[in-house]
Chains A and B, each alone.
Chain A
Amino acid sequence: MSRWRFGVPAGALAAVVLTWFAIGPAPVANTANGNGIKQFGIADVPGKATALFPGATGTRWIRLANAENFPILVQTVTAAVGKPADGRGRPVPACPATSVRVDALPRPVPVAGNGTADVALTTHMLPGAPDACRSVTFPLTYTGTAVKP
């Protein structure tokens, strides 16, 4: 008798496969964003940014926060620069948002389960930024992607 003869009947094997289907996607149902892993957080590291001036290159430290209990690999982070505001929060239309550029995450960054990782993004202010861009704050909107390594 071949060893395959004590194998699982076709119906039982199909049941196993179906069970795998049922188990496999389970993390999706339990996640916040429906994509498989809870959305990770991206925020500024307080006090760790270079004040920009025309032609300057600086750093903007950000903190990646992993809400899952397993490690993730953050593969991309980009920052969209918004319209600046002065010290009183008033818009400064004479200073265009394009005066500042933030480079994307230079390389993938692992983040431990329930942990955080700090990483620096490179910032630039264009050499031709007008005087209106003095002492203003540019809002950033971060987006990123990650995978379970």
Chain B
Amino acid sequence: MRKISKRSAVVLGAAGVVVVAGVAYAAWSSSGAGTGSVSSTTSVNSAITPGSSGTALYPGGGTDFTVTIDNPNDYPVVVTGISAGSSDEVNGCAAGTVTSAIPGTTPGTIAAKGSRTYTLHATMNANAGDACKSQTFTLPLTATLASNA
């Protein structure tokens, strides 16, 4: 019977191991697949509430007053603008008797669920009538905000 030589056995054995190892490495890989999703949050409008009302007004006079703007969202925001204000009619005192200008800047970030106070300036018309004495004026205001994460 033909006998295998040591050299042949070593060569064949090594070749077998290398080939089998190579096949095994290539075989044991896999891929994965699937689907999912992520969502964006919504935005909730802020509210503007009166703060300090400043000093009492008189015809032609002015005063600083403050408003507080809240942030009910889960993310920080900045106030990009606050509108001018004009008073409603109150007890015979004409609408527009008291006005507030657009503030030059609205600095700072309002943290998530936080609030921040802003100072505005109000002026009473020089021709305000007697009906405007001892009144409290309401100035509707609007503000624009943007996320600032």
Contact = CB atoms under 8 A, between A and B. Distances in A.
A52 B38 contact: yes
B120 to A, nearest CB: 26
A143 B31 CA distance: 7
A133 to B, nearest CB: 5
B36 A39 contact: no
A53 B23 contact: no
A84 B23 CA distance: 43
> What bracket does the count of chain A residues touching chain B fall in?
35 or more
B32 interface: yes
B2 A41 contact: no
Interface residues of B, number: 40
Given A39-B33, A127-B149, A148-B30, 9 more contacts: A2-B6, A10-B8, A13-B9, A53-B41, A56-B149, A84-B40, A135-B42, A137-B40, A146-B30
B55 interface: no
Q: Considering residues B2, B24, B30, which has the most beta carbons from chain A within 10 angstroms of its beta carbon?
A: B30
Interface in A32-79: 33, 35-44, 49-56, 58, 60, 62, 64, 72, 74, 77, 79
Contacts of A146: 29-32
Contacts of B4: 4, 7-10, 13
Nearest to B39: A137
Contacts of A5: 3
B50 to A, nearest CB: 29
A143 to B, nearest CB: 5
B134 interface: no
B91 interface: no
Interface stretch (B12-20, B56-64, B123-131, B135-143): B12-20
A139 B71 CA distance: 29
Nearest to A111: B32
Top 10 A-B pairs ranked by shortest CB distance? A55-B149, A42-B34, A37-B30, A144-B32, A51-B41, A44-B36, A148-B28, A36-B27, A40-B32, A135-B42
